[in-house]
Structure 1
Amino acid sequence: MRIGILTSGGDCPGLNAVIRGAVVKGIAIHGHEFVGFRDGWRGVVQADVVPLGRKEIQGIAKQGGTILGTSRTNPFEGENGGAAAITANLDRLGIDAIIAIGGEGTLAAARRLTDAGLKIVGVPKTVDNDLSATDYTFGFDTAVQIATDAMDRLRTTGESHSRCMVAEVMGRHVGWIALHSGMAAGAHAILIPEQKTSMAQIADWVRSAHDRGRAPLVVVAEGFVPDQEDDPHSERGLDAFGRPRLGGIGERLAPLIEGMTGIETRATTLGHIQRGGTPTSYDRVLSTRLGMAAIDSVVEGRWGRMVALRGTDIVHVSFADAIGELKTVPQERYDEAAILFG
């Protein structure tokens, strides 16, 4: 078979390890041929491919980002978009199947194309860890480690000046990165989209920590919504799939905290630094296993399905189950962390 691989949506550490795992097993065990689509769905729509042999994937597992490039192109938009045009491109290129590596938007597009008759297998990718069909997504562990390291640094400068430090992390509409990195860094408050929290409560946590001689650390997920508001803060419009680009809530909270507590407060938005750099060993192993499992799905004709992690096992789930609902932080997990606040 001739298989095309694409990486779509936001980049994250571990993408290259997926590519390597799929290509190595596909060539060594099954004798498949591989090409990569440049820049995600854009490469599929525009028939823009590069060869993917053993030489092209040497040593890439430890590299961050993606050697194929990525974009947020919607494959159903534009004059070359849509299932019929994409099918014609694949036939012309002699590509029998696609391995689509991406998050919710990528997999939703893959599901529509599979329903239209294309042969596609999915691999879950998101630093947000918000896909309910898999226990963990690769990139999440790296993002948490990067955020934790940054917060450790913020705490030292906060302690030097007796300031409150607000660290804004990614996560879109879930709080997994904030919860894990906040607990690891010893945060005095963790604010996530799943929990409506008042400014009065936030100020109480900050005062409590400050009164004990600590420099308060507040970790806030980019999708956090204060209890008097209805929607998360978005200052950059919509992406190609019509979803709001979140960010800026930390800068909004800092002056409010300072005004209510009288404690000098600074905000830092970690942003894309969480998605950059080399993947952790955990993410390298998980990515490689998922890439190898994706080849099993192709060989077995499991079209319209995504590989996923359940416990320590790799399983195969339908696209419908993969994107059916967000995996949010359960109440008991937040209550566990909240014991440490203030």
Structure 2
Amino acid sequence: MSKRIGLLTSGGDCAGLNAIIRAVVRRAEGYGWQVVGIREGTAGLLDRPVRAEEMSSGIFDGTILRMGGTILGTTNKNDPFAYPDGAGGTIDRSDDVVAGYRELKLDALIGIGGDGSMGILRKLAKKGGWNFVGIPKTIDNDVGSTEISIGHASAVNVAVNALDHLQPTAASHNRVMVLEVMGRDAGHIALSSGIAGGADVILIPEIPYRIEAVARHIERVRQGGRNFALVVVAEAVLTESGEPVRQRHASGGTSYGGIGHYIGDRIAATTESEVRVTVLGHVQRGGMPVSRDRLMASVFGVHAVDLIAQGSFDRMVAWQHRQAVDVPLEQAIEHFKAVEPDGALVRTARGLGISFGDG
């Protein structure tokens, strides 16, 4: 029986989303099904007429795998259950989203998002009686029950490239280079890029630090004969007094940003080193996806469509033990995956002589 499958991307963008879209459309066509791409996540379902279009593999030439961002657009604001009313309050517009889904006459929906987006989509699916399958994507790699989320590998690659560029100028000028990376409340990007990029210090929110310990390690590096040091800081690292560093936007919202400059100032004051700070920001989200993200995006997209064919819903595609599996969606979004302070990568970093500022 022919089916109409809805497809949307939600939350922050990342590299690899278009590869998922391509995989879903191609696999669905193999079943003889139609895919309907929904514009800008749930925002497209709120508009009237609904902003959506039928998709076919004919629109995908060889460039789609290489494209960053998402051709469907996305949104990471305005929860339909608490939608801004324009007067400083909120209203529940979830019924409007459910009506938009029904207007498209869909048999199932595939949602590509992080834990927050998938939590909202699951709630909408329960309310509307949708057949829903989730695909994890986030540069933070903090979605539970999966070892891999789409976008993380590309974000790490951007950070490693930044360290590769910072190292020669650090050595040329006898400087300490501080690199602030994204990751929301988890330190996965900082940890992986710090190891791969040859950092001397990695600061992550999961391991408390002391500036004195960071300074001592930098001094040991200098005493060892090296005239520079590289420090990677995750954006969610707190100040020494335990406060997050956040930026306020003109819209009234806030986001992490600025801890790199705080750490840089403290290192300069404590070690009398010449310090420079680089904040990567959204550079980590854009750009061409690396091969790992393209590969896993293809695996996840195909598996999601196969779940619909099996009649298996309220599930999330995941990667465990070198194979694609699916897990209960509720389980995945309820278990935030932070860095394990005694995990393999932390032990590896310590074995390489990298400091976490705690010793």
TM range (shorter): over 0.9
**Aligned counterpart, 1:19:** 21
Gap runs ≥5 in structure 2: 86-90
Decide whether aligned partners of structure 1 residues 177 and 239 sit closer, same or farther in structure 2, where only a CA change above 3 A counts: farther
2:131·2:313 contact (CA, 8 Å) conserved in 1? yes
Q: Is 1:124 the equivalent of 2:136?
A: yes
Post-superposition shift, 1:11? 0.7
Post-superposition shift, 1:227? 4.4
Residue 315 of structure 1 aligns to which amino acid in structure 2? V
Q: Distance in 1 between matches of 2:249 and 2:347?
A: 33
Residue deviations 1:120-142 (CA, integer Å, cap 9, x gap): 11000001111121011111111
**Aligned counterpart, 2:232:** 219
Q: Distance in 2 between matches of 1:177 and 1:201?
A: 22
2:201·2:214 contact (CA, 8 Å) conserved in 1? yes
Q: Distance in 1 between matches of 2:272 and 2:37?
A: 55
- RMSD over aligned CA atoms reads 2.0
Give the secondary-structure state (helix, strand or coil) at the position aligned to 2:287.
coil
Q: Distance in 2 between matches of 1:114 and 1:239?
A: 30
1:7·1:40 contact (CA, 8 Å) conserved in 2? yes
Residue 218 of structure 1 aligns to which amino acid in structure 2? V
Aligned residues with identical type, % of pairs: 39
2:45·2:96 contact (CA, 8 Å) conserved in 1? no
Work out which of the residue numbers 75, 80, 90 in structure 2 matches 1:75: 80
Runs of 4+ in 1 over 3 A off after TM superposition: 77-83, 237-240
Post-superposition shift, 1:226? 3.8
Decide whether aligned partners of structure 1 residues 23 and 6 sit closer, same or farther in structure 2, where only a CA change above 3 A counts: same
Residue 157 of structure 2 aligns to which amino acid in structure 1? Q
**Aligned counterpart, 1:40:** 41
**Aligned counterpart, 2:210:** 198
Post-superposition shift, 1:160? 0.6
Q: Is 1:63 the equivalent of 2:67?
A: yes
Range moving further from structure 2, 154-163 or 84-93: 84-93
1:165·1:218 contact (CA, 8 Å) conserved in 2? yes
2:8·2:37 contact (CA, 8 Å) conserved in 1? yes
Give the secondary-structure state (helix, strand or coil) at the position aligned to 1:91.
helix
Following superposition of structure 1 onto structure 2, how do residues 238-317 of structure 1 map, counting pairs within 5 Å? 245-317=255-327
**Aligned counterpart, 1:152:** 164
Work out which of the residue numbers 86, 92, 96 in structure 1 matches 2:97: 86
Post-superposition shift, 1:239? 9.5
Residue deviations 1:181-227 (CA, integer Å, cap 9, x gap): 00011111000010000111111122222233231100000011244
Gap runs ≥5 in structure 1: none
Decide whether aligned partners of structure 1 residues 330 and 134 sit closer, same or farther in structure 2, where only a CA change above 3 A counts: same
- TM, length-normalised to structure 1: 0.94
Work out which of the residue numbers 38, 45, 53 in structure 2 matches 1:50: 53
Following superposition of structure 1 onto structure 2, how do residues 130-141 of structure 1 map, counting pairs within 5 Å? 130-141=142-153
Work out which of the residue numbers 197, 206, 209 in structure 1 matches 2:221: 209
Q: Is 1:324 the equivalent of 2:334?
A: yes
**Aligned counterpart, 2:7:** 5
Give the secondary-structure state (helix, strand or coil) at the position aligned to 1:20.
helix
Residue deviations 1:91-128 (CA, integer Å, cap 9, x gap): 22222221100101111101211221222110000011
Q: Distance in 2 between matches of 1:296 and 1:10?
A: 26
Residue 65 of structure 1 aligns to which amino acid in structure 2? G
Q: Distance in 1 between matches of 2:104 and 2:121?
A: 19
Residue deviations 1:167-193 (CA, integer Å, cap 9, x gap): 001111111110110001111100001
- TM, length-normalised to structure 2: 0.89
Q: Distance in 1 between matches of 2:210 and 2:176?
A: 17
**Aligned counterpart, 2:123:** 112
2:98·2:124 contact (CA, 8 Å) conserved in 1? no
Give the secondary-structure state (helix, strand or coil) at the position aligned to 1:332.
coil
Q: Distance in 2 between matches of 1:249 and 1:338?
A: 23
Give the secondary-structure state (helix, strand or coil) at the position aligned to 2:334.
coil
Residue deviations 1:49-94 (CA, integer Å, cap 9, x gap): 1221112233312211111111113232447964432222222222
Residue 15 of structure 1 aligns to which amino acid in structure 2? L
**Aligned counterpart, 1:161:** 173
